[in-house]
Structure 1
Amino acid sequence: MDDTLKSLPVWTPPGDRAVDFDTAVDLRLRSLAWTRRMLISGVVSQVVLAVFVLLPGDPWYGAGVGLLVFALFTLGRLVLFQLRWGRWMGAARTILGVVTARRVTAEVITWKGQNVVLSLDGGQSRVRVGSVHPTVRAVIARTGEVWLAGPDERGIAFVFANGLPVPLHAKVITEAPAPRTPEPPPPASMLVADDALPLAYARRLAAIQGAQLAALLVFAAAAITWGGPTHSLRIAYGVFIGLIVISGFVRLAPTLRLPALFKDGRWQSFQARTNTWTGDPKPTGALGVTITLPDGTELPAVIKIAPAELVANIVETGLIWINGTPMLEDTRAVGLPGHPIAAAAKFVRHPKLH
Structure 2
Amino acid sequence: MSEQTREKQKDRSLESFPFYRFRGTHRQIGQQFGEACSELIQKHRDYARNRLNSKYHVSTKRLQEAVLQYRPFVQKYAPGFDEEVLGIAEGAGITLEEAYLLQLRAEINHYCKSNTECTTFAILAEATSNGVPLIGQNCDLPAFYSELGVVVEYVPDEGPACLMLTPAGQVSYIGINNLGMGTFANFLTCDGWKPGFPRYMLSRLALTKRNVEEAVDLVRHVERASSRNLIMLDKNGGAADLENTPNRDAIIQPENGLLAHSNHYTAESLLAEERLHGVELENSRVRLNRMQELLKENHGKLNAQLMQEILRDRGSYPHCLCQIQGDEKVQSPGDKGADIITFASVIAEPSEGSLWVAIGPPNQFEYKRYSFSEG
In the superposition, the TM-score normalised over structure 2's length comes to 0.26
Of Structure 1 and Structure 2, which has the larger fraction of its residues in helix? Answer: 1
Q: Is the radius of gyration larger for structure 1 or structure 2?
A: 1
